Amino acid sequence: MKLSRRVILSAAAVAAASVLVPSTGAHAADFPSKSINYIIPFGPGGESDITARHQQSFAKDLLGQDLVISYKPGGGGAVGWAQLNKIKGDGYTIMGINLPHIIVKPKQKNVGFTTEDITGVYMFHYTPDAIVVKADSPYKTLKDLVDDAKKNPGAVTLSGSGKGTANHLAQVNFDKAAGTKTTYVAFKGTGASVQALLGGQVKAQWGYTSVGAKHAGKVRMLAVAMDERHPKFPDVPTFKELGYDLVSGAYRGVAVPKSTPEDVRKKVSDAIAKINADPEFRKRMENDGMALLDIDYANIKPFIDEKSKGYIEAAKAGGVLK
Amino acid sequence: MTNEANGRSISTPIMAAIFIGIAVIVFWDTTSYTDADSYVFPRAIALVMACLAVLLIIRWFLVPSPEEVSFEGANLRRLGLVLVMLGATIAMPWIGFLLSGLIAFGAILVLAMYDPWTPMRLIVYPLSGAGVVLAFYFLFSNVLQVPLPVGTVFGG
Amino acid sequence: MPIFDSLLAAFTPFNLMLAVVGVVAGTIIGSLPGLTATMAIAVLVPITFSMEPASALIMMGAIYTGAIYGGAYAAILLNTPGTPSAIATTLDGYPMAKRGDGDLAITLACVASVVGGLVGAAFLFALAPPLADIALAFGPVEYFWLAIFGLTLIAALSEGNMVKGLIGGCLGLLLACVGVAEVSADIRLTFGSETMLGGIEVISALIGLYCIPVLIDLVATPDKHLHVETKSGGIRFGDAMAISWKGKWNLLRSSVLGTVVGILPGAGGSIAGLVAYSEARRSSKTPEKFGTGEPRGLQATESANNATVGGGFIPTLVLGIPGTPPDAVILGALLVQGVKVGPNLFQAESSIVYTFIFGLFLATILMLPIGLLIGKYAYRTIVEIPKAMLVPTVAFMTLIGTFAIRNNTADVIIMISLGVMGWVLNRFGFRASPIVLGLILGRIAEQGFVQGWTIASATGNYVGMFFGRPITIAILCAIVLALFGPVWTRRMKIKREAMANDE
């Protein structure tokens, strides 16, 4: 019975260890007084994870507490969001949210949550959509691509991440604005879509500014869907400058369970704002190609409502919604 | 399960019918999709599966092969194992992972026990079992930071 | 000599310790069904923020290597692939364990993993930038045909009844569709259930389809789990080395195949193992022995899946496109640290990458003693533990492990349900392996097909797209060989024997 004795000993050690670890007080007046669980409804390694990791690396210094990241992937985020309101609403469990995901998915079928069920408290950045081509592409400017697409309707292929996503809806909106017909090829995630671009499987990509940052030298961006040029890419024009009214991307923020009291919601919003205000954090995010946003709790509802209209219209035009 | 009259096991056509049924359900589900990219693949596979199931029936008619399907062994213990595992999973969000894990471990221990319960075993098995459960619980929740359910019944 | 500096940097006491700790932790994590390298690495990411990038890489690489090997234990001893990479390991590993050669199987797996790991790391060291182009040469259509090539294994795995095997494969392909479609936008086959929304996660399906039937049958009889006639120490190094030397070409070929599949983003260790297994079986003179406890099958998968570690780092570090899920996490950690990946990472002045590669070599070599030691205890535990304790322990591990994959009880319910389904189907002659093959390859096949079709529709050249590209033709040849090769060699053999009789 050598084995069971070892097992008993280890159990005793476990019990001893759990007594020795001091439990943190949950009722302190100032927030946060203990570490915050930060649930990402996607798998590790994706852009939602990486941006959360950036926040995590600043949390300890700025908030005095750790952000503990865990994952609840599945259903393109839907599995996590469907369970958001079942969590205790004390501000110590927060969840990442993404637009257009939380707007488009619930409109398709029952996915266990509606857009209104999600209590967003802060949108902290977006990754702007961009048309990306290989460094040696014959398309030197956006005009080259538009001309080609007008001459050969449907023959210009663009890869992108998924359908009903920021990339796809940007493609739908751009085709409408430019009066072109292009072929959108959906891949699983941005990595696979870049792979298709670099491998020459498609002529261009509906990607993000983060693609331009990560694959600098191998790719060029023809235009970015921002209000103003991205500080990291001063030479890349915006769609607006070129005459297409397109400002879009993958928006990311933080939500809390519905049961969270108003004052705690505000405090979570303030905590995220504090990280967002850090110059070093901003620099790192911009270096990765992100664009920072500061939509706090007071402004988030009108922001999401306004975005919803455009997304739903585009999703209908793109055949994602009936 | 064996139909003695013609020497053929009737389990084959029953299974084939089930697979055809699955194919029909899949086909019906695909009619609700909005995107053409979504239904091409499942429809094609459902069709292939239905054809294969028909082939299975045809072969069963032509080549009589007495396939014995046996369910030997302690079937009640089998059923018990599955029910305990399912029950523990469903109870997890309410009573917490630790408690449901301990109960499941104890119940399966009894189900899997074929040796006589000596006083020694009566003490050592449950204790070391609790040790295993506690050790894994600690490893997962504290070292690997898996958010195991803590349960809502006891105030969570 | 900058390379020499990198070598020294890899062997600092601190890095050495990280490699040892990483391999031990990885092997244990990999051996527990449900715990994956991805998860273990993700947990460690915050720790790496305060480390040198090269040290962080060494530790993460060591865990990754260990975890892929650790997956073999549960595959051999419990018929449960601890990681998807070990699926094909069960095919011959478990039959070996059942007949009393579990110790030999574990030793063989360790040697094969070390060989595969070293070959993969060698390619990463010497040829990473040019090899990264392989990842780019593979378009959607190539992935589609690669998945079909993997599906040809169904023919080998269906044990006499091909139609039933194919039906099982179709069932697996349909199971792969459940949930929110990864590429197109629809929600499929969930029937309004929130449990099904996340789809069928591959690892929970593996645990369900392979491990639950074993448990269900274990409680039904008083027989011991594994039959062991002679008392052994748990490792049989001499025998294993002799068999490994005899199968050295198989090991090398499988390692190279594993490296190449590892380079393909999205393919990963499971497909590498299956492709290598398929090739080993095809080129064998006795293909009928595969699936009944043939050491060569085990060697092929275990060397190939460890070779994917080095292979997967090639696109990750050269192109910034992660080769496998653990690579994605490692890449993310590097990005947060401010390391820019790209071909210039491989220029001599940048020492990080070479320090890391030497660390990977080190970790792989360390795996031999560490792996054998842990394997010895794993084997002894499974053999000696009384059945009444083994069943609840394994059952509890499947519960906690399946939950941990996506932190969701829905996956646990799906796991148990699939297990019951697998057990029942097995009674009626439908084996688990074709279902699993369909499930794993279904997503790759569907996406490749839809993407290929969409691109072809832009040019109008459907035939050229699906049958005209050079790599496509090569894979098509491999498919034909895999399907008809064994039949042809058997026919030739009969003919030759007939001729010999005539003379």
CATH number, domain with residue A204? 3.40.190.10
* Residue A134 counted as domain residue: yes
In B96-125, the residues whose Cβ lies within 8 Å of chain A are 124-125
Total beta-carbon pairs less than 8 A apart between chain A and chain B = 45
Both structure tokens of C9: 């940097």
Instruction: Assess A212–C contact: CB distance below 8 Å, yes or no.
Output: no
Pick the residue of A10, A87, A92, A94 with the most B CBs within 10 A to test the interface with B by mutation. A10
Any chain A CB within 8 A of the CB of C442? Answer: no
Q: Give the Å distances, CA to CA, from C391 to A149, C386, C395.
A: 63, 9, 6
Say if A240 falls within a structural domain: no
Q: What is the DSSP string of A199-215?
A: TTSSSEEEEEHHHHHHT
C82 vs A65, residue with greater confidence: A65
Separation CA C153–CA A113 (nearest Å): 41
Residues 85-144 of A with CB under 8 A from C: 104-105, 108-112
- pLDDT value at residue A11: 46
For residue C138, which residues of chain A lie inside 8 Å, CB to CB? 199
Give the burial string for C158-184 (b: 16+ CB within 10 Å, else e).
beebebbbbbbbbbbbbbbbbbbbbbb
The answer to whether ipTM exceeds 0.85 is yes
> Does the beta-carbon distance from C328 to A78 stay under 8 Å?
no
Show residues of chain A in contact with B147, CB under 8 Å. 37, 39, 70
φ/ψ (deg, to 5) at A26? -95, -5
Q: Quote the pLDDT of residue C192.
A: 84
C186 contact residues in A (CB cutoff 8 A): 108
pLDDT at C376 over 70: yes
Q: Is residue B99 part of a domain?
A: yes
Ranges of residues in chain B with a pLDDT under 50 are 1-6, 156
Q: pLDDT averaged over chain A?
A: 90
Q: Do A14 and B128 touch (CB under 8 A)?
A: no
Domain around A80: 33-126+249-317
- Give contacts of B85 with chain C, Cβ < 8 Å: 395, 398-399, 416
* Interchain pair C333, A284: CB under 8 A: no
Domain span including residue B27: 2-62
Mean pLDDT of C84-109: 92
The residues near C399 (Cβ < 8 Å, ≥ 6 apart) are: B85, B88, B89, B101, B104, C412
**CA distance linking residue B97 with residue B141, whole number of Å:** 10
Rounded percentage of chain A residues whose pLDDT exceeds 70? 91
- The answer to whether residues B39 and B30 touch, using CB atoms and an 8 Å cutoff, is yes
pLDDT in tens, C384-443: 899 999 999 999 999 999 999 899 999 999 999 999 999 999 999 899 999 999 999 999
Phi-psi region at B6: left, alpha or beta (left = phi > 0; alpha = psi -120 to 50): alpha
Same-domain status, A112 and A145: no
CB A55 within 8 A of CB A70: no
Q: Is B6 near chain A, with CB under 8 Å?
A: no
What predicted TM-score, i.e. pTM, was given to this entire model?
A: 0.90
Residue B110 is assigned to a structural domain of this protein:
yes
Span B118-150, pLDDT tens digits? 999 999 999 999 999 999 999 899 888 889 998
Cα A285 to Cα A16, A276, C1, C31, C135, distances in angstroms = 43, 10, 36, 37, 28
Would you list the DSSP string of C200-239?
--HHHHHIIIIIHHHHHHHHH--S-SS---S---S--HHH
Residue B70 lies in a domain: no
Angle among Cα A45, A51, A52 to the nearest 5 degrees reads 85
Say if residue C209's pLDDT is above 70: yes
pLDDT single digits (tens) C278-319 = 899 888 888 888 989 999 999 999 999 999 999 999 999 999
Are A84 and A143 part of one and the same domain? no
Cβ-in-10-Å burial (0-12, 13-18, 19+) of A90 comes to middle
Which residue in the set B38, B101, B128 is minimally distant from C396, CB to CB?
B101
CB contacts of B70 in chain C (<8 Å) are: 427
For B27, name the nearest residue in chain C, comparing CA atoms only. Answer: C189
B13 in contact with C at a CB cutoff of 8 Å? no
- Inside any domain, residue B148: no
Q: Would A149 be classed as within a structural domain? A: yes
Whole-angstrom Cα Rg for chain A: 22
Residue A318: closest C-alpha in chain B: B35
CA angle, corner A82, sides to C441 and C34, nearest 5? 45
Block residue for tokens 């303030």: A270
DSSP strand pairing (C187-188 vs C179-180):
antiparallel
Asked, for residue A51, whether it belongs to a domain, the answer is yes
Which one, of A145, A141, A144, A100, lies nearest residue A118 by Cα? A100
Same domain, A118 and A131: no
The CATH number of residue A88's host domain is: 3.40.190.150
- Of the candidates C46, C184, C381, the beta carbon closest to that of A56 is on C46
DSSP A231: T
Nearest to A78 by CA among A122, A121, A117, A36: A117
> Within this chain, do residues A173 and A190 fall inside the same structural domain, yes or no?
yes
Number of domains in chain A: 2
| Structure-block tokens of residue C112 | 């094969």
Mean local confidence (pLDDT), A96-121? 94
Measured between alpha carbons, how far is C140 from C453 in angstroms, rounded to an integer? 9
